[in-house]
Chain A
Amino acid sequence: DTEVTQTPKHLVMGMTNKKSLKCEQHMGHRAMYWYKQKAKKPPELMFVYSYEKLSINESVPSRFSPECPNSSLLNLHLHALQPEDSALYLCASTAGNEQFFGPGTRLTVL
């Protein structure tokens, strides 16, 4: 398996809902990332996990909660989101310096 996968592809949620985004890679990559991306803007780093430990948290609001259950899986738990949180959420993993992105989850918060 040579790619990063993400589920779901699309998610619509209300501001009181709790949902989770999932990311998986089976390439043995040491680092996994969550990014938020608005249309035609660069990916904005949220979290980095290195060897299953959270190494970077870019001052992300607590309504976003990451989790790395094992070296292949990365979750992003969502709670009490705001409409401005609507975006494409990208997962990525890194081998050496090369970073590979998953297809993303298109999130809409109503």
Chain B
Amino acid sequence: GENVEQHPSTLSVQEGDSAVIKCTYSDSASNYFPWYKQELGKRPQLIIDIRSNVGEKKDQRIAVTLNKTAKHFSLHITETQPEDSAVYFCAATDTGNQFYFGTGTSLTVIP
């Protein structure tokens, strides 16, 4: 089955700086890669996703890049704000039936 690794497990940045979270996957059949943000006590929320036929996708301050050859994808958050503080999970799936999650990154943005 698929194995998704995520780094770092914790990340602290100053407000206004950029944050980068990286994930690798093992199954070349995986073709959809979502990122979820989970605030304390709340549900995971889909913040951005990328499909395997695309190398990069951007939505305001958030971007995701995918390198299919190396089997890794990354989340980039620019101009970080305190409300970006949360746990972020990457995931991978091939069929959309079973999602394989990374272990999570706890991001703290220091005002």
Contact = CB atoms under 8 A, between A and B. Distances in A.
Interface string B91-111: 101001111011110100000
Interface residues of A, number: 21
A97 to B, nearest CB: 4
Interface stretch (B11-19, B43-51, B70-78): B43-51
A98 B49 contact: yes
A81 interface: no
Interface residues of B, number: 23
Interface stretch (A14-22, A41-49, A71-79): A41-49
A103 B97 contact: no
Secondary structure at chain B's binding surface: helix, strand, loop or mixed?
Answer: strand
Given A56-B97, A94-B96, A40 B106 contact: yes
A25 to B, nearest CB: 13
B87 interface: yes
Interface in B6-49: 32, 34, 36, 42-46, 49
Contact of B44 (A31, A43, A48, A98): A43
A94 B32 CA distance: 13
Contact of A45 (B96, B98, B102): B98
B43 A50 contact: no
Given A41-B103, A42-B102, A101 B43 contact: yes
A61 interface: no
Interface string A79-110: 00000000000100010111111111000000
Most buried by A among B49, B96, B104: B96
Interface of B: 32, 34, 36, 42-46, 49, 51, 87, 89, 91, 93, 96-99, 101-104, 106
Given A45-B99, A104-B43, 13 more contacts: A40-B87, A42-B89, A42-B101, A42-B102, A43-B101, A48-B97, A55-B97, A97-B32, A97-B96, A98-B46, A101-B36, A101-B45, A102-B43
Interface of A: 31, 40-43, 45, 48, 50, 55-56, 90, 94, 96-104
